[in-house]
Chain A
């Protein structure tokens, strides 16, 4: 067996890899993937020249976001469990000292959206630690419940890394479905679709012919809940927090309507003004609301208000095009951000300095050229990540 010396441009099957990178998330095939990675490393490693295996948890939260402690703890727990598993496997394959295991969490500094972002972070990490091969868990999922292995693998193959899917037995679809759904999700979805059905049916009288609607509604809702409860709901609905969040959302609606009407009048006045005193600018605002649904709510609320359009959500930065200085000021005052924080996290989270006070606003007087701008911002985020990890 030939020993690997640095660099490692072309790595054939028989050449010892300098190191393995394994992105991990909770999945049904995770245990076997860990075993496979250790076995692979054990095949090539020697006591003098151990093969490093890095298990990496990619964060779906951002460190400053409120309400992410549970997720962080979950990740920590998973990594601890993986270390235990890896140790077991090391003894099994007799690779106590020829394989060195380490675990880490990456990407807590920025919202990551598409597989390219994840691939970039992994590639940066791999080159920092001289790893040249990625082993992907076939059931690995980036965010929530969607399996996005293929796009991630595609993005990874575009880097200099070698990508393998762990050849582990995958459970059937049926198992996966029941594996990811839960009672809370099921009941919530059933209730929602049943109510929706009755609403469309017009709440016919519940006696006599109205029974038909109830029965068909229940059947329809059952089918919907059975098939879709594993992909609906961003986070687990609970009796304690979900109704509260819904109620706070209902308070938010009149406020949003008021804002819409107010800015509608302002914009209408400007458009009908023969001189048309507009002063459009592209701006960049950093918003702290949490990724996923809260960020979408905020971005959509901003767009819904005339005078401001969210152009791009890049990590935590929202690129907002604003038509008028007044709209810009409103945006920087962060009222919408506060409201969204209130809706999703409660009253205490709403007390938060505005983007202007935080210094998180930026007017891009000369709009950034498309490509240069994007690469620059994402690169910054990545360097931050790696620096913090070291």
Chain B
């Protein structure tokens, strides 16, 4: 449930935030806490088992790859010359 909540917030954020950079923030939310809580729940349901260990491993890889992907997107946007949105500007 908690995981679902954060994923939902993240999706709302992607729609509501004004530009690429701020959307990248919220996308990392879905992965960290959204997937985090979901996978933790899976691990707890399964109980002390090797499958649970694999779930933790899965989480680890998500935690490594997610920021890398977010960084890649943000960097690509930056290199392409996308100007970050600042306060006071009109929403795009």
Contact = CB atoms under 8 A, between A and B. Distances in A.
Interface of A: 199-203, 260-261, 264, 267-268, 271-272, 276, 278-282, 299-304, 306-312, 319, 321, 323, 365, 367, 369-371
Nearest to A303: B67
B25 A267 contact: yes
A367 B85 CA distance: 9
7 A-B pairs closest in CB distance: A202-B50, A303-B67, A370-B81, A300-B67, A271-B13, A321-B21, A268-B9
Interface in B64-83: 64, 66-68, 70-71, 74-75, 77-81, 83
Contact of A272 (B9, B22, B25, B84): B9
Given A260-B32, A264-B6, A319-B78, A309 B12 contact: no
Contacts of A367: 83-84, 86
Contacts of B4: none
A312 B22 CA distance: 15
Interface residues of B, number: 42
B9 to A, nearest CB: 4
B16 A310 contact: no
Interface of B: 6, 9, 12-13, 16-19, 21-22, 24-26, 28-29, 32-33, 36, 50-51, 53-54, 57, 63-64, 66-68, 70-71, 74-75, 77-81, 83-87
B20 to A, nearest CB: 9
B28 A304 contact: yes
B80 A370 contact: yes
A307 B9 contact: no
A203 B26 CA distance: 38
B92 to A, nearest CB: 13
A299 B72 CA distance: 12
B9 A309 contact: no
Given A200-B54, A309-B74, A310-B67, 13 more contacts: A199-B54, A268-B9, A272-B12, A278-B18, A280-B84, A280-B85, A300-B68, A303-B70, A306-B25, A307-B25, A309-B25, A321-B25, A370-B81
